[in-house]
Amino acid sequence: MFDCTAMFTLSWRRLVRKRVGSDQVRVDICYIAPTGRRLRTFPEIQGHLDTLPSTELTLDHFTFSKKVALGEVLDGVIVSRSES
C-alpha cells in the first residue's frame, strides 16, 4: 500500500510536472532524494535505496500514479516537500 509519510519526513520530494502538448496533457513524475538525485523509475529508486546504509523506506512508499495528488501547484508543477 502506498504511504508517503515516511518518505516526506526523511526529506524526499515528489515532483509532478505537467506538459501540455498539441491535444493532450502529459505528466512526468520523479522523486528527488535528499541528496538531490532525481529518480524517475522504480529500478532507479530501488538502486538508490540499496546504496543507503540504513533506511526504513521501501518501494511501497513511492508511486508514479498520476491519480495521487500530493503537493501544491506552482506554475504547472506540483512539488511535494517534507514539513521539516
Domains by residue range for the chain, with CATH:
5-67 (3.30.890.10)
| Per-residue pLDDT at 73 | 43
Q: Is the pLDDT confidence value at 61 over 70?
A: yes
Residues 17, 76 contacting (CB under 8 angstroms): yes
Q: Is the pLDDT confidence value at 82 over 60?
A: no
Q: What would the pLDDT profile of 9-52 be if each residue is shown by its tens digit?
A: 778 888 888 777 667 777 888 899 999 999 999 999 999 999 98
Report the 3 state secondary structure along the chain. CCCCHHHHHCCCEEEEEEEECCCCEEEEEEEECCCCCEECCHHHHHHHHHHCCCCCCCHHHCCCCCCCCCCEEECCEEEECCCC
